[in-house]
Chains A and B, each alone.
Chain A
Amino acid sequence: MKKVVGIMMILVLCVSLIACGSPENEGNSTGDGKEAEITFWMQKYGSDPAVQDKLMQEVTADFKEKTGITVKYSIIDWDSALTKYTLACTGGEAPDVADIFFTSSLIAMSNEGCGPMEVNDVVAEMGGDETWYQAGKDEANIDGDWYGIPWRFDTRVLLYNTEDFKEAGLEVPKTWDDLIEAGKVLTEADDKGNISHAGLAWYAGMSRFDQTWFTLLAQAGGQLMNNDFSKFVFDSPEGEESLQFLVDCINKEKICASSVDASYDAVSEFMAGNVSMVYGVTGETKTSIENQAPQLNGKFASAVLPNKSGEGVSSIAFSAPISIFKSTKNAEASKEWVKYFCSEEVQLKVSQELALLNSNINVMKDSYFTEDEWLKTFVEQSSRSQSGDMPISAWSQVDAWPDGPIPAMCNKVVAGEDIQQSLSEGVKGANDLIQK
């Protein structure tokens, strides 16, 4: 009798499990026309998750009203995003539309019938090539075909403490020399040389210096790769100069307190008043400071990054596309969503809510950007930027953090190793990855 009861219990357990499991299984869309439904994955943006959630609810509700298509969105955290897209491209669960990155790599690894889909027709409908910045094109257009619509845009500028500058009677630096001058005036150190207040900090969280170095390389007039993207060429005089500058500010000129310490965060130090300038911050930084350190309100501003000569390129730019996955069962609905989400109107709203810049040139011309003190620097900077991501499939490996050859090279150099050697090791490592 007891045995029977036991077996019954186990059966009930199994049944209830299966019952619980099935309704949660989203899978891909049905696309049978009556109630079209598509899935959309996007990463986290902004420091307040509620804002993004509310925004997406509004946007998807509006879209449903206009087209009758339901969009189920998922917000993915950055740490697992690459893994999820990798699995999606190699046969695992895939969304209909997604906010991807490393486009070239995802395409290279995709199995038959998986991965980003070519969307030349959507691009044509949205105004063609010239609608977006070059960096947007670089990331979304592979070998002449468009695989996504560029949306968010990222360029880096200088953050500085206006009170500190006023007190010291300084002007915003325009060249590397100006920067060093300003840094020296603003830095306070004790007799032993220990910095108690640093003039400058590289915008590097969790000891990640590669993007800072890309900006410096651009400012020195150097290039990461040659013109047809077949070889890495940063073991050039500019490459060396930029690495040297990175390190000199820390060790020689002693105006910079950055280190390879994982707990060191430049913007946090700025918020605490330990640093006067942060080199290479994103558009979102202003909201962060306002949320976390209200005591600094009105005491900070942005400026175009200085470069070696004072003119020309002085920063890097990144862009990312919204792509449709080939495995979608409802390509039509997906394209509608992409057109809607990437339309100027919606993109302006998205950029405002998530404190992002935009790849769409027209969107960036809006007064929201051009008349805001903080944001107009970014508009100016974007015309003086070059691409930060290289459009090759091995880029995700070359710039893999923390182990890729370029981030490793920057870390070694900051930690004090020989620049020549690190540079040649870095270039060799990067080129090896392309050859393989």
Chain B
Amino acid sequence: MRARNKLDRYTPIIMLLPAVIGIVIVSVYPSLDAIRMSLFDIQLLKAESPFIGFDNYITALTDPEFLKVILNTIFFCVVSLFLGAVLAMKIATQLVREYPGKAFFRSIFLSPWVTPPLVTATVWRILLSENFGPVNSVLLKLGLIDQPISFLGSTTQYLGFFSIPMLVIVVINVWSIFPFMMVMFIAGLQTIPKELYEAAQVDGANKRQQFFKITLPSIMPVIQTSILLEGIWQFNNFNISYLVAKGGPLNLTKLLAVEVYNQAFSNFKYGYASGVSVIMVLIVLIPSIFYIRDSLKKEQR
């Protein structure tokens, strides 16, 4: 009996230990190592790795090209999130209504999530090809344009930093991420009691008012969680930018994660690459702190 009580007392700790240990070894230690590397000038092609303090960071932050990449990443992240969330919400609200075919449509819309990123990038690249893609071909046939649009090659920059290729990358990304948000939203919507809507209808509220006054507030926590998580994931997104156009044309679609990759694996500048990734974490930390504080506050309730 006593033995059981002792084990019992330690049960909560035993339960959480494996996960935490795993994370410390696989995520925390390598990340700390990377932070250490960012303070040195580590280049594989050079024999020495002198300590240089914050030089890597200064080099990065005073490089106008790098600042453009930061802007690209923020733009990409914010716009993908916004469009993805709006699309996901629209679909989610429709797919909780009592119309036949719910399961069918949900299955279709889940597909982008299970498609490997390489397949996504390769197929979309073909779809948007000037001479081989159906998008241009249909637009031409409909007479909307008289010359194929070079979706991934147009280098005109609007308002200083965004361009058609960047918008294209955003669209492909929205295609890829909205299923996850849709699923989160559907789950949240299903918890709103129907009586609320019925009462509102009796009171004469139309669909729009119902949405903004009942639906939105009820699932605001779900929206916040999804958006923050997706926000972090999209800020760190590497696949779409690298696989579709390797950050081109002319670095117009280059995102921070791609920069880290190029610096580490093509230029062998591990120190600098680590510095860039630390900068990424710092940028994303700012909005995240609010979330962390918020969710810890909820614990106290």
Contact = CB atoms under 8 A, between A and B. Distances in A.
Judge A-B direct contact (beta carbons within 8 Å). yes
Interface of A: 82-83, 86, 89-90, 105, 108-109, 192, 194, 206-207, 259-264, 268-269, 272, 274, 393-394, 396-397, 400-404, 411-412, 415-416, 436
Say what secondary structure dominates the interface of chain B. loop
A19 B46 CA distance: 41
A109 B45 contact: yes
A209 to B, nearest CB: 11
B125 A263 contact: yes
Given A261-B152, A402-B246, A396 B266 contact: yes
26 contacts: A82-B265, A83-B265, A109-B45, A109-B268, A194-B147, A206-B245, A207-B245, A207-B249, A260-B249, A261-B150, A262-B245, A263-B126, A263-B130, A263-B151, A268-B132, A269-B131, A394-B45, A397-B45, A397-B266, A400-B267, A402-B262, A403-B266, A404-B266, A412-B250, A415-B250, A436-B43
Contacts of B128: 263
Contact of A105 (B45, B126, B152, B262): B45
Contacts of B262: 400, 402-403
Contacts of B44: 86, 89-90, 108-109
Nearest to A404: B266
A274 B151 CA distance: 19
Given A108-B45, A109-B44, A397-B266, A272 B130 contact: no
Given A261-B152, A263-B129, A264-B153, A206 B246 contact: yes
Contacts of B152: 261-263
Given A260-B250, A262-B246, A416-B155, A86 B125 contact: no
**Interface hub of B125, B152, B244 (most chain A Cβ within 10 A):** B152
Contacts of A396: 266, 268
A89 B246 CA distance: 26
**Interface hub of B46, B126, B266 (most chain A Cβ within 10 A):** B266
Contacts of B117: none
A268 B125 CA distance: 14
Given A206-B248, A272-B131, 9 more contacts: A82-B265, A108-B44, A260-B153, A261-B150, A263-B126, A397-B268, A400-B262, A404-B266, A416-B155
Interface string B40-58: 0001111000000000000
Interface residues of B, number: 33
Nearest to B153: A261
A84 B153 CA distance: 31
Nearest to B247: A402
A90 B42 CA distance: 13
B150 A259 contact: yes
B202 to A, nearest CB: 51
B133 interface: yes
Contact of A411 (B129, B133, B249, B267): B249
Nearest to A206: B246
Contacts of A109: 44-45, 268
A194 to B, nearest CB: 5
Given A260-B155, A260-B250, A397 B267 contact: yes
A411 B131 contact: no
A415 B163 CA distance: 14
Interface in B143-193: 146-147, 150-155
A371 to B, nearest CB: 36
A82 B266 contact: yes
Contacts of A401: 246, 266
Contact of A259 (B153, B245, B246, B268): B153
A186 B214 CA distance: 66
A415 to B, nearest CB: 5
**Interface hub of A268, A274, A415 (most chain B Cβ within 10 A):** A415
